[in-house]
Amino acid sequence: MFRRAFWFTTGAAAGVWATAKVQRKLRSLAPDALAVRAAGKAVDTGHRLKDFALDVKAGMAQREGELNDALGLDAPPPGKAAGPGLPAQARRPQLGPAHHRQGPDRPYDRNEDH
């Protein structure tokens, strides 16, 4: 009699445990839970990529400084701006309206270039 009660209780406990585990798994596979988990992983990946880009940028600046010191290039060459971009004479001139072939009153024509 005790043996039957033991196995009945063990089976009932195993059934409750299995049911709870299946329900937990189903809840974790629900669309809302999957979306939240995917969004969290995307944010984490974005943070890792940003950290990587910052590390690469810092390494590039450090290496550029080392190369400049090794080559004796501490100051920018004369005639060049210290900031980013090209000097004024090296920039492309802005094209005026005469250089625009396509516009609202003139649609693109493939045969125009031949």
Q: What are phi and psi of 32, to 5 degrees?
A: -65, -45
Predicted local confidence at residue 90, as pLDDT: 53
- Which token pair is 50? 């940003």
pLDDT in tens, 15-58: 999 999 999 999 988 999 999 999 999 999 999 999 999 999 99
Distance, CA of 75 to CA of 19 (rounded, Å) = 73
**Coil/strand/helix, residue 12:** helix
pLDDT-derived band at 1 (thresholds 50, 70, 90) equals: confident
Is pLDDT of 92 > 70?
no
Which residues make Cβ contacts (< 8 Å) with residue 33, sequence separation at least 6? Answer: 27
Look at the block and give the residue holding tokens 């709870």.
20
pLDDT-derived band at 80 (thresholds 50, 70, 90) equals: low
Is pLDDT of 2 > 80?
yes
Q: What is the largest CA-CA distance in the chain?
A: 103
Q: Is the pTM of this model over 0.75?
A: no
